Copies of this chain bind each other. A is one copy, B any other.
């Protein structure tokens, strides 16, 4: 049991052994101890990414890895299809535009799932499109897109598939190689049970081919530099050593539990989060529950309830920390993060707190 229930979709609570590792003394990031650690971590990351592709660890936020994904494989003027059904999908497309890509937006209402047929039609409508940006799990709405089907369409059309897997890799099944995902990014503070500060990026052979001619300017995020230094067991720039210590321990914890058990646990915990919410008389944002996320559940703010008051009360009276909505959903939803170090008992505590708090902010079933 945690004294505070931090149930936001990242940063997620870290287990005691991970926190202990986070607080270890510094080491030389160009020495043998670091090299052994980064090599060990990289092997594990590839395992949980389900890939034989290169995987690199960057020092930065998840958004940094999204920027890395874009600038490493695209050139200004490249036609890119940005598929979005939420804040993070919007961010990915907007970022590509910032760096000069010619972005076609395929937007879905926030709360709906991406319709793969529409992706197909968009690609058919413009054969000049070279790459597709897609969010696997939309953290802002709690919707998991059907990446298996989307990837078939995108790869079937011979396009580069760039995936924001920030809140899915490690928690929701994402077989990188089986689905042909060319670039997949994620961040340490999600299902990995590690503090924020590191982000990961995988690069397929096709991604490397695109990289070779990609002309968007890059320096800090450049994967060529990352590859060259990883061969020496190093990173190009001084890495967030403490988060590496944490990651080393957390990945072994995941391996001990068994990766498929971790994936199954996330599904189980998410089912409980949804069924508990409904049992309280609340409504889910996701239009079709079969696409509900296993890492975050978005709940509609009930009529007459001030969402920010509810969140404040939950935190101050019950020690339960949830997230509000983002962008157009601000004040309209609240979100329960259930990824990383989480089990059914944690959700039960959230539910208990909600049950007590809701009537105090004017909720009537």
Please give the residue numbers on chain A whose beta carbons come within 8 Å of chain B beta carbons, in ascending order.
Answer: 2, 4, 6, 8, 10-14, 19-20, 22-31, 59-64, 67, 94-95, 98-100, 187, 189, 195-197, 216-220, 236-243, 246, 315, 321, 323
Contacts and interface: CB of A to CB of B under 8 A. Distances in A.
B30 A323 contact: yes
19 contacts: A6-B28, A10-B238, A11-B241, A12-B26, A13-B26, A19-B25, A22-B23, A30-B323, A60-B64, A61-B220, A63-B220, A94-B219, A98-B218, A195-B240, A195-B241, A196-B240, A196-B242, A197-B242, A216-B217
Contacts of A30: 8, 323
Which of A4, A238, A241 lies at the interface centre, i.e. has the most chain B CB atoms within 10 A of its CB? A238
A237 B195 contact: no
Contact of A239 (B99, B196, B238): B196
B6 A99 contact: no
Nearest to A70: B219
Contact of A14 (B25, B98, B243): B25
Contact of A220 (B10, B25, B67, B189): B67
A348 to B, nearest CB: 20
A238 B196 contact: yes
A337 B28 CA distance: 11
A84 to B, nearest CB: 16
Nearest to A322: B28
A12 B19 CA distance: 20
Contacts of A64: 59-60, 220, 237
- Identify which of A12, A63, A217 gathers the most chain B CB atoms within 10 Å of its CB: A217
B10 A321 contact: no
Contact of A11 (B10, B26, B189, B246): B26
Contacts of A95: 219
**Most chain B Cβ neighbours within 10 Å, of A19, A95, A100, A220:** A220
Contact of A60 (B22, B29, B60): B60
Nearest to A23: B23
Given A22-B23, A196-B241, 19 more contacts: A6-B28, A13-B25, A14-B25, A19-B24, A59-B60, A59-B64, A59-B197, A61-B220, A61-B238, A61-B240, A62-B238, A63-B220, A63-B238, A64-B237, A67-B220, A195-B241, A197-B241, A216-B217, A240-B240
Given A60-B64, A197-B243, A187 B238 contact: yes
Given A60-B60, A64-B237, A195 B242 contact: yes
Contacts of A11: 26-29, 238, 241
Nearest to A315: B31
Contacts of A195: 26, 240-242
